[in-house]
Homo-oligomer: A and B are copies of this chain.
């Protein structure tokens, strides 16, 4: 008696953000239907994979017409739990925290940044968009009062674990760690690393592979 959506394979879930983003792009172009073949080409998959994925998501298309883009967007959003609004606090009002608060486009994906905090007295009180930087001391109250779900770590690496511990204590359910280090969380608090350095390393390493095969 599973929860229904639970059975979607991990590999499919990981492709969901790309599918969603793609559906929105094509929709903006005014398109109404897409073929699995087009999706595959544009996202670097095979048509088989796309159709197989859609089967898991119970998405139905029409032969020779393809898949309804509005429908796709709806299913992807739902599968990604975007129906529920997610409340976010950003820890760290440096460049990274500001970038995310101002240009992160988080609203487009139903993430609501409710507060931004920092330890540095010099930046407390700064206005960032329509938020005011608050003291780190307020974190517990903020998480409780604003019913925060997710904490984003946007502080230098050495403080990352301490921030994570405080977020966990404060009661968040998930952590996005943008610091360039690993943080340890208890099992009940999910944590995802957005480590830019990892991406760069993988990039440079596959670039090397490429030059080898030429």
**Interface residues in A1-49 (C-beta closer than 8 Å to B):** 3, 6, 13-14, 16-18, 20-22, 25, 42
Taken residue by residue from 72 to 107, chain A's Cβ proximity to chain B (1 for < 8 Å, 0 otherwise) reads as 000000011110101000000011101110111110
CB–CB A94/B86 < 8 A: no
Q: Does A144 contact B (CB under 8 A)?
A: no
Q: Does A205 contact B (CB under 8 A)?
A: yes
Q: Does A196 contact B (CB under 8 A)?
A: yes
Q: Does A67 contact B (CB under 8 A)?
A: no
The minimal Cβ–Cβ distance linking A180 to chain B, given in whole angstroms, is 5
Q: Does A111 contact B (CB under 8 A)?
A: yes
Across the two chains, which residue of chain B brings its CB closest to A187? Answer: B210
The winner among A25, A95, A109, A157 for most chain B CB atoms within 10 A is: A95
Give me the 4 closest cross-chain CB pairs, A-B, nearest first: A95-B99, A96-B99, A17-B198, A3-B212
A–B Cβ pairs within 8 angstroms, 16 of them = A16-B201, A17-B201, A17-B202, A18-B198, A42-B184, A80-B205, A86-B204, A95-B99, A96-B103, A99-B99, A105-B197, A150-B200, A174-B206, A176-B196, A190-B210, A194-B196
